[in-house]
Amino acid sequence: MGPKTTLSFFLLALLFVVGGWYILTVEEPPEETDTPEAKVEPDLEDGPEAVVKTSPSDGRNFVIWLSIDGLHVPDLETTDTPFFDFMKTHGAYSLQHRVVFPSVTFASHVSQATGVFPGQHGIVANRFYDHETGRIYSYPGQASLLNAEPIWNTAQRQGVRVAVSDWTLSHQQQGPDATSYFGERYERGLRDRERLWQVLDIWREDRSPETLRLLMGYAVGPDSPGHAYGPGSPEVLAAIQRVDGILLEFYDTAVAFFETFREEGDQLIFVVSSDHGMSPVHSLVHPGHLTGLDGEEGVVAVHSANLLHLYFVDANQRETLSESVREAVDRYDFATVFTRAQAEERWQYGHPSRTGDLIVVLETGYTFSRRPDGVTQGAEEGGGPVGMHGYDPADDPNMNTAVFFLRYPEKEGKGDLGLIDSRQLHPTVADLLGVEPSAEATVEPLILFYKNHLE
């Protein structure tokens, strides 16, 4: 055996010894995390660091977002509501859902959908005038009036198919980002179950290869009895119980359908929100008698709940009429006059053509009505309403409402989210769907669920 052969054997032996030492001492690689044996549990012990964004790392999220009009939190808490309780126990929720001003149905719903204040999205009340068009819009439905992008168009624009039924300002959509399904008009006379089931029927009857992933619906809920009988009344409590039963049936039906096509990793997120609470009303206020403007041709006066918008259509009379209104309203301690600029500074409520040149705002307990013979009249004596909303949530906590998030098949959420901003719902739903929120919706999304980890 020559010197080269001896050297080769020596080097081979040395490599064998070194390799064996490395194998015995190096750290073993971590186990694969995607094997069926890996056990996944929610991390509930790591505090705030345990939460992450709500969108899944794999699979698809399907979101059903239902709005129940007029959920007054104290009534919700004192009523027997098994399904609302179930959502609180197993999901994420807030009973301090701070809505925008004014806390009326149209302005509030659109702020939730767009993530911006009414002064930006342009739906400043249930009824309003527009200086640009010269028209009064009363409970409008046409999407073309929106000045900000709602979540249904945000999602559809980014490739998520959407069905929206009876959500405020979702009707008569046009353009390339119109949702896969929408209504032409709000159909009056439907019961809440019928109205909500429109959403389920669309989902179940859709035949597209790409399943709808965002479905939105609306129900009147306790709002109407809240106006007629007031918060805390037996009629309101009965309405909340009825809604609770309808939502349970809806959820069970939706889950059963979801199971017919669900793939591994898919989740169904069930969102139930409301647009405002309710406060008792003791006095009706006549808008014309309060301001002294009855019969005045130089102004358009439009009232909605506790707000009166005054639009001066004759520029020559604007200064004179403004001073006259201030003098008249200042006699009463339950009403305050704001200019558009003041409304913008206080509430970001200064839409350039739809917010009034002056806005008269009534204190809690008062609402505008044309029934009184004088400036004011008792609410019950005047035929109601005896419950109202629209008041500033910063001053009247009764305007706060509720929102619930429940996911399936996972049933673990953060529980009580505490005080939340209504405008957070747009970016939160965008996050759940894995799409970018609209450019205008700049508030942070809610973090709803705990991350999963390997034990």
For residue 12, being part of any structural domain is answered with no
Q: Both 431 and 318 in a single domain?
A: no
pLDDT at res. 450: 59
Q: Find out whether 160 and 181 touch, Cβ atoms under 8 Å.
A: no
Query: In which domain, by residue range, is 289 found?
Result: 283-384
Q: Both 135 and 183 in a single domain?
A: yes
Number of H helices, E strands in the chain: 13, 21
Q: Both 317 and 180 in a single domain?
A: no
- Confidence band for 97, pLDDT divided at 50, 70 and 90: very high
Q: Both 235 and 97 in a single domain?
A: yes
What is the total residue count of the chain? 455
Q: Is the pLDDT of residue 12 over 60?
A: no
For Cα atoms 438, 359, 144, give the angle at the middle one, nearest 5 degrees: 35
For residue 56, being part of any structural domain is answered with yes
CA distance 218 to 432: 20
Q: How far is CA 381 from the centre of its chain?
A: 35
Specify the pTM. 0.86
Looking at 364, 384, 404, the residue that finishes a domain is 384
Q: Is the pLDDT of residue 48 over 80?
A: no
Question: Which H helix or E strand runs over 429?
Answer: helix 425-433
One DSSP character per residue, 377-430 reads: EETTTTT---EE-BS-TTT-GGG-EEEEEEEES-----EE--EEEGGGHHHHHH
Between the CA of residue 137 and those of 131, 132, 141, 321, 383, what are the distances in Å? 11, 12, 9, 23, 25
Q: Is the pLDDT of residue 139 over 50?
A: yes
User: Picking from 198-207, 387-396, 445-454, which range would have the lowest pLDDT averaged per residue?
Assistant: 445-454
Pairing state between β 92-98 and 401-408: antiparallel
CA distance 77 to 420: 18
Residue 291 main-chain phi, psi, to 5 deg: -95, -15
DSSP state of 416: E
For Cα atoms 76, 384, 96, give the angle at the middle one, nearest 5 degrees: 25
Q: Both 150 and 67 in a single domain?
A: yes
Q: Both 119 and 187 in a single domain?
A: yes
Question: In the chain, how many domains are there?
Answer: 2
Looking at 384, 410, 439, the residue that finishes a domain is 384
Q: Is the pLDDT of residue 377 over 50?
A: yes
For residue 287, being part of any structural domain is answered with yes
For Cα atoms 247, 251, 253, give the angle at the middle one, nearest 5 degrees: 115
Q: Both 108 and 226 in a single domain?
A: yes
* Tens-place pLDDT, residues 153-197: 999 999 999 999 999 999 999 999 999 999 999 999 999 999 999
The answer to whether the bond into 372 is cis (omega within 30° of 0) is no
* Tens-place pLDDT, residues 233-282: 999 999 999 999 999 999 999 999 999 999 999 999 999 999 999 999 99
Q: Both 290 and 340 in a single domain?
A: yes
For residue 18, being part of any structural domain is answered with no
Q: Find out whether 366 and 283 touch, Cβ atoms under 8 Å.
A: yes
- Confidence band for 295, pLDDT divided at 50, 70 and 90: confident
Q: Where residue 132 sits, what CATH number does that domain have?
A: 3.40.720.10
Mean confidence (pLDDT) of the chain: 88
Q: Where residue 302 sits, what CATH number does that domain have?
A: 3.30.1360.180
Q: Which amino acid is at 155?
A: A
**Strand segments (E) across 53-91:** 61-68
Q: Both 236 and 289 in a single domain?
A: no
Q: Rg of the chain over CA atoms, in angstroms?
A: 28
- Residue 253: CB atoms within 10 A of its CB come to 14
For residue 242, being part of any structural domain is answered with yes
Q: Both 86 and 217 in a single domain?
A: yes
For residue 401, being part of any structural domain is answered with yes
One DSSP character per residue, 177-215 reads: T--SB--SS--TT--HHHHHHHHHHHHHH---SS---EE
Q: Both 263 and 346 in a single domain?
A: no
Looking at 338, 354, 384, the residue that finishes a domain is 384
Q: Is the pLDDT of residue 142 over 60?
A: yes
User: Picking from 32-41, 220-229, 309-318, which range would have the lowest pLDDT averaged per residue?
Assistant: 32-41
